């Protein structure tokens, strides 16, 4: 009887609630809306909850389920509209208990969807409409309102997000991400590290990867998840290689931002730099798989490429350069990887082979195109005004290796320019390294044309060797 009564109530009130929803779109109407109006909406949602709960418990279909779902959706539209830029209504609705009522009703709606027999054929649209509007309301009541955000977090985290983020309906997922983004702050992000809650962060990253147009999931990752180094480390360990590539690409976007960095942000970036350098050192050899993978399907090798991309950006900033220059093993890994890829390109024709005439589109789009250029860029960055690293490159026999990679190579755009940059940084105020280049040139191991193609030449001044820009010949 309770369910039948709820259905009768649904039919009688649907039109009046629709009219109220339209009125609350107007700012002047929502600012003067009486508390009694919201109490009526609360009573409708409470009655609908009882009816749905009864149907789920008795495993029987809810009579006139479409009207009930439409009324639930319309009630949430009213509440959603009432909260738009109206702190008064946000406060009022929160105090009436509508946040907890809504979260409970979402749980019941999900139960209806799981028990598909409770949804009549063709009624899935009404179900998703109700679910979407409920999430929009929660997002609006929390927007710009710390008390509502905390109340919603207490009621909804993590269950609501674990329930809604995996949905196939893109709008449900997008609105769920909106609610999550609205509630998150540094303290709440830390809660994602708890084993029970960690799946929320995983779901968000997967939503971004599968739905690239999802702006809310992008904002959650860039503005919140990437601000917690411990969470990034935990995520990286759990992700597949494909998902790691996605995370690294988002990190690349973040570290490429040229805006001023505060002390807290600098500390976060330094932690990321240390962690990613360690990851690169562990798996840099994986990139060699591309030598035998013309279709570029090896995801672990692609992870290595993206790690290098991020490290190049991090070492281009003075904020992280000193820390990365001091890390044991990073420079050695870069030089060794350059040597191995260079050798792989000489032993067989592959993406690491220097070429002047790319003919296939597949070669142009290969993810390893530019990899050697970036290795040389990283080496140059690590040696910038750093005598210890300059000497390491000498000891690793890296100078002849860089010189051997200075010719034009369509598989490595701008390699000549990065080689010039690296040689300058390796030899700046370092007589031994300059003498090595001069000696290689005299022995014919570093042809004058090689230095010339880089726009450089060796010059002796007062008994000292100086590497400088080549003199222009008269035309």
Claim to verify: residue 52 and residue 102 sit in the same structural domain: yes
Owning domain of residue 126: 1-154
Residues 69, 196 within the same domain? no
Domain assignment present for residue 6? The answer is yes
* Residues 283 and 205 placed together within one structural domain of the fold: no
Residue 361: what pLDDT?
44
For residue 475, being part of any structural domain is answered with no
Residues 1 and 150 reside in one and the same domain: yes
Whether 328 and 373 share a structural domain: yes
Q: Are residues 109 and 244 in the same domain?
A: no
Is the bond preceding 290 in cis, omega lying within 30 degrees of 0? no
Residues 190 and 144 in one domain: no
The reply to whether 473 falls in a domain is no
Domain total for the chain? 3
| In-domain check, residue 268 | no
Domain contains 470: no
Q: How far apart are CA 433 and CA 451, in angstroms?
A: 14
**Helix residue ranges per DSSP H, 353-414:** 361-364, 371-382, 387-395, 398-403
Residues 54 and 197 in one domain: no
| 107 shares its domain with 35 | yes
CA dist., res. 145 & res. 185, Å (int): 12
Q: Are residues 199 and 317 in the same domain?
A: no
Question: 382, 399, 421: which is the final residue of a domain?
Answer: 421
The pLDDT assigned to 1 comes to 42
Determine the Cα–Cα distance for residues 136 and 80; give it in Å rounded to an integer. Answer: 6
Where residue 384 sits, what CATH number does that domain have? 1.25.10
430-462 as b/e, with b when 16 or more CB fall inside 10 Å? beebbebbbebbeeeebeeebbebbebebeeee
Mean pLDDT of residues grouped by 10 in the chain (475 residues)?
50 85 94 95 93 74 73 96 96 98 95 61 75 97 98 97 94 96 96 96 94 86 95 96 95 80 82 96 94 76 96 89 94 98 93 74 71 97 97 97 89 92 94 88 53 58 57 46
Q: In the listed set 154, 169, 204, which residue is the last one of a domain according to the structure? A: 154
Final residue of a structural domain among 253, 288, 309: 253
Q: Which two tokens stand for residue 428?
A: 């700046």
Q: How many CA atoms lie within 13 A of 367 on its CB side?
A: 22
Instruction: Tell me if 166 is assigned to some domain.
Output: no
Residue 355's pLDDT is 86
The model's pTM is: 0.86
Q: What is the pLDDT at residue 141?
A: 98
**Same structural domain, 95 and 201:** no
* Residue 112 belongs to a domain: yes
Neighbours of 117 (CB within 10 A): 10
Give Cα 86 to chain centroid, integer Å: 32
Same domain, 104 and 9: yes
Tokens of 372: 């050697």
Asked if residue 445 is part of any domain, the answer here is no
Contact between 446 and 437 under an 8 Å Cβ cutoff? The reply is: yes
């Amino acid at each position: 009887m309770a369910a039948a009564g709820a259905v009768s109530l649904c039919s009688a009130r649907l039109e009046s609630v629709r009219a109220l929803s339209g009125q609350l779109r107007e700012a002047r109407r929502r600012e003067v809306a009486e508390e009694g109006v919201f109490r009526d909406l609360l009573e409708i949602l409470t009655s609908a909850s009882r009816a749905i709960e009864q149907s789920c418990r008795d495993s029987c279909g809810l009579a006139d389920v479409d009207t009930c779902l439409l009324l639930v959706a319309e009630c949430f539209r009213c509440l959603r509209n009432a909260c738009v830029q109206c702190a008064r209504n946000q406060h009022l609705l929160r105090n009436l208990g509508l946040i907890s009522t809504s979260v409970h009703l979402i749980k019941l709606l999900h139960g209806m969807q799981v028990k598909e027999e409770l949804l009549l054929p063709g009624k899935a649209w009404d179900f998703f409409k109700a679910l979407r509007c409920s999430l929009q309301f929660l997002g609006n009541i929390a927007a710009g309102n710390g008390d509502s955000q905390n109340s919603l977090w207490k009621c909804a985290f993590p269950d609501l997000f674990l329930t809604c983020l995996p949905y196939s309906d893109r709008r449900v997922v997008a609105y769920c991400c909106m609610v999550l983004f609205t509630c998150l702050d540094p303290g709440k992000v830390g809660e994602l590290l708890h084993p029970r809650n960690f799946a929320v962060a995983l779901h968000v990253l997967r939503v971004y990867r599968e739905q690239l147009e999802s702006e809310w999931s992008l904002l959650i990752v860039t503005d919140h998840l990437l601000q917690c180094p411990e969470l990034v480390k935990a995520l990286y360990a759990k992700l597949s290689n494909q998902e790691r590539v996605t995370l690294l690409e988002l990190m690349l976007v973040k570290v490429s931002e040229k805006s001023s960095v505060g002390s807290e942000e600098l500390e976060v970036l330094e932690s990321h730099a240390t962690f990613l350098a360690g990851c690169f050192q562990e798996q840099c050899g994986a990139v060699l798989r591309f030598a035998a993978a013309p279709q570029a399907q090896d995801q672990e090798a692609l992870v290595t490429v993206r790690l290098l991309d991020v490290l190049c950006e991090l070492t281009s900033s003075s904020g992280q350069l000193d820390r990365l220059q001091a890390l044991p093993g990073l420079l050695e890994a870069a030089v060794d990887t350059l040597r191995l890829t260079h050798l792989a390109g000489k032993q067989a024709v592959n993406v690491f082979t220097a070429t002047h005439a790319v003919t296939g589109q597949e070669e142009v789009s290969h993810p390893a195109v530019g990899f050697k250029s970036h290795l040389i860029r990283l080496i140059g960055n690590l040696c910038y005004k750093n005598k210890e690293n300059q000497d390491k490159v000498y000891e690793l026999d890296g100078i002849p290796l860089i010189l051997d990679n200075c010719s034009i190579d369509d598989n490595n755009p701008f390699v000549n320019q990065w080689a010039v940059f690296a040689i300058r940084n390796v030899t700046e105020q370092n007589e031994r390294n300059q003498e090595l280049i001069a000696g290689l040139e005299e022995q014919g191991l570093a042809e004058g044309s090689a230095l010339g193609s880089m726009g450089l030449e060796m010059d002796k001044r007062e008994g000292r060797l100086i590497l400088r820009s080549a003199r222009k010949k008269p035309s």
